[in-house]
A and B are shown apart, each in its own frame.
Chain A
Amino acid sequence: MNVTVRYFAAVREALGSGEDVEVDSRADIASLRDALAARGGRHAEALGRQRVLRSARNRVLCAEGTALADGDEVGFFPPLTGG
């Protein structure tokens, strides 16, 4: 299945605004993140487990254990600093 990944703030600066990614039908946010980081290079640097990131599924903040469905939009970004 396919998901649209979107990046923000420091992650966006490293990887661009986003990309479409094909994932396993049982994928969750954690496995998507690990698969992207496994590409190495900038992806490993920006999305690896040494980074503290938050994530969203379909524009709602959620834990990385959240399962994905075909067509989902997944956001990866640093901790939030608004207000």
Chain B
Amino acid sequence: MSASRVSIRADDFDLGAEVAALRAGDGGVGAVCAFVGTVRERNDGAVVDSLELEHYPGMTEAAIESMINEAVRRFGVRAARVVHRIGPLAPTAQIVLVAVTAAHRGEAFQACEFLMDYLKTQAPFWKKEVGPGGARWVDARVTDDTALARWGIAAANAGAAAAAALDQRAAATSDTPAAAAPGLHAGAAPDTLAGALPGKR
């Protein structure tokens, strides 16, 4: 089972077929929750002609396997499947699938959202947008760090930039202890990342 939990590939996926395979033969399943992410034709107001996705082969698969293990530990997920596409993708194309099965809907909803939140800031993917004005790497969003923080995990992804700015401000104001700056805690402490992720030791 675990060998087929993660698929990183250029090819598209079929939601119905993926869900059917995920719950096949498991009479303990009472809830299936699936999320599909797709390419918007506009991002931050700019027209998107295509999206190019790059990843870190080997690390991506291992990172997502570790996320699924954590979802199983936290929510008692019965089965999970993550498909993430790479390469060039056109607007309206499917990018990512996260599907989980559980005994009850609460665990299924939570696990699906947890996996997506985790994937956004902890799986090594990078998006490049190509539009009429040329190509640009997509900026990480602090809101994605915030989403993961709800689960008690410090993301330290986009927040690292915000934290660096706060550090500089704190250093400029000599009497201000860095720890007193609100919001610094989650983003500024990459050293706490490993400690916050028991599954990643």
Chain A residues within CB distance 8 Å of chain B:
6, 8-10, 12, 52, 54, 56, 59-65, 75, 77-83
Contacts and interface: CB of A to CB of B under 8 A. Distances in A.
A1 B33 CA distance: 48
23 contacts: A6-B56, A9-B128, A52-B164, A54-B156, A56-B56, A59-B56, A59-B62, A60-B63, A61-B63, A61-B122, A61-B124, A61-B200, A63-B190, A64-B190, A75-B59, A77-B56, A81-B126, A81-B138, A82-B53, A82-B124, A83-B95, A83-B116, A83-B120
A83 to B, nearest CB: 4
B191 A80 contact: no
A31 to B, nearest CB: 16
Contacts of A12: 54
Contact of B56 (A52, A75, A83): A75
A63 B193 contact: yes
Nearest to B95: A83
